[in-house]
Amino acid sequence: MARSRDPIQLAHEVFLESIGESPKTEAPKAKDPAAVSLGQRGGMARAAALSPKKRTAIAAKGAKARWKAK
């Protein structure tokens, strides 16, 4: 069970844990090192396969989407 991101709810959960009324939250499970390694290499391989012009176009599209007015 993940902890809440809301500070008020988090404080309440910690309080309940301290008085023993709520089960303790579990630590997140460790990631598989082999999967992490493959994921890191995948990004580098994709970048190497793309032309500089195509990488620029992808970056521009991402920036445009991030700064788009809502």
- One digit per residue, the tens of pLDDT, for the chain of length 70 reads 566 678 998 888 888 888 988 777 777 788 888 888 888 788 888 888 999 999 999 999 999 999 987 6
The pTM assigned to this predicted structure is 0.42
The pLDDT of residue 47: 85
The pLDDT of residue 2: 67
Cβ–Cβ under 8 Å, residues 29 and 38? no
The pLDDT of residue 52: 93
Structure tokens belonging to residue 63: 């920036």
The pLDDT of residue 63: 94
22 CB neighbour count, 10 Å cutoff: 14
* Residue 4 CB contacts under 8 Å (≥ 6 apart), including other chains: 10, 13
Radius of gyration in angstroms for the set of CA atoms belonging to the chain, rounded to a whole number: 21
